[in-house]
Structure 1
Amino acid sequence: MTVSQPGQRVAVLADAQNLYHTARSLYSRNIDYEALLEEAVDGRELTRAIAYVIRADSPEEESFFEALVDIGFETRIKDIKTFQDGSKKADWDVGMSLDAVSLANHVDTVVLCTGDGDFARVCRYLRHEGCRVEAMGFEESSSEDLKAAVDGFIDMSDDSDRFLL
């Protein structure tokens, strides 16, 4: 449950990879980022909205990145890394965490759109520093550590038709 007050300044940080893979595996659908941003802001004052995305050279991704910008997100784009053994890696955990810490002094609330438990520690830090922290994710795949570390958790599965295309 969120405690939103109209004057609160909000930063919304969306872990696009985490949301994409969860929505695809649970529902075979894509995220509605416009609905996500609207719910995260919840009538408050949006200071920054950043979507963290991975470039994997798929044909539709550039139009997806442009759509995020049209909705109101800044995009942080990282290329996927392929190692000699063929394995691939790309995640934004450190970049997202650094942005959350950097923004904390300029906002009242940070909303992390992810279910990734790796963010629990940064959530506890932000709360200790006096920042309200909320998370949005799908209950079925969201870390218990993350949910315990935030002031409010919005389960996107509760209204999947709103949050999915």
Structure 2
Amino acid sequence: MIARAAIAALLLACAAAATAADPVPPSGESAAGMSALDMRLTELRCLVCQNQTIADSNADLADDLRREVRALALAGKSDDDIKAYLVARYGDFVLYKPPLKPITWMLWFGPFALLAGGGAIWWVVLRRRALSTTTSATNANPAGELRARKLLDGEDDVAV
């Protein structure tokens, strides 16, 4: 009984180790070609997941894109040709690092513009607050100031 359980556990461990192994590259690809392909796949965004590369995504579209990139690479296309093909088909959004051109200026410079605008608004608010506290202290109501002095001096005949 114990021997059967030990054999079953050993077979289960072997099966788990086999599934955790790296996948065998498809026929016709070397390990160097596979690493170059992985580099290409990490530069492309999954259009379904949007925050994952097509190498990391489990979406069906990402699987199709991986096969398509692999087929283009095996056909002898360069990285630039593959990127140009995908950009023509899906737009600049497919690239994790979109090119700097007028249509993407807001994407590249928008965060800095928002930060500068927020800093300018913050500076104006603080400046106005500082000016309002100094002007309110110097432009106090003269009648109220006279009444306050009389109260502080202890005069009892101040009308309320």
Q: Tell me which interval the TM-score lies in, with the shorter structure as reference length.
A: under 0.3
More helix per residue = 2
More strand per residue = 1
**Bigger-Rg structure (1/2):** 2
Q: Which one scores higher on RCO, CA 8 angstroms, separation ≥ 6?
A: 1
TM-score (norm 2): 0.20
